Amino acid sequence: MRAAIVLARHELRLLVSLLRWFARRPDSGGGRAFGYARGQGAVMTGFWFVCAVETFAMAVRLRTWPTAHRVVLVLGL
């Protein structure tokens, strides 16, 4: 159970970081900023594409279980 919580927290932090990057907002945790966002555009675009494909594939695979289908679709979006 602890591993699931740690993985869920990591996934949430990853998505928050992606949203902050997309909105061009720096991290408010202090520290030193590095200017590498311009070079990461293609990687982040690819990552967003893979997330969309994964959400679609899970929706197709879970179409026979409506409750699980809705939960995974909401989490994917």
**How would DSSP label each residue in the chain?**
-HHHHHHHHHHHHHHHHHHHHHTT---SS-S-----TGGGHHHHHHHHHHHHHHHHHHHHHTTTSHHHHHHHHHHH-
Question: Residue 29's pLDDT is what?
Answer: 65
Average pLDDT, the chain: 81
pTM of the model: 0.48
Q: Say how far apart CA 13 and CA 15 lie, in whole Å.
A: 5
Question: Residue 75's pLDDT is what?
Answer: 79
**Is pLDDT of 46 > 80?**
yes
**Is pLDDT of 32 > 70?**
no
Work out the average pLDDT over 5-16. Answer: 87
Question: Residue 27's pLDDT is what?
Answer: 62
Residue with tokens 């967003």: 48
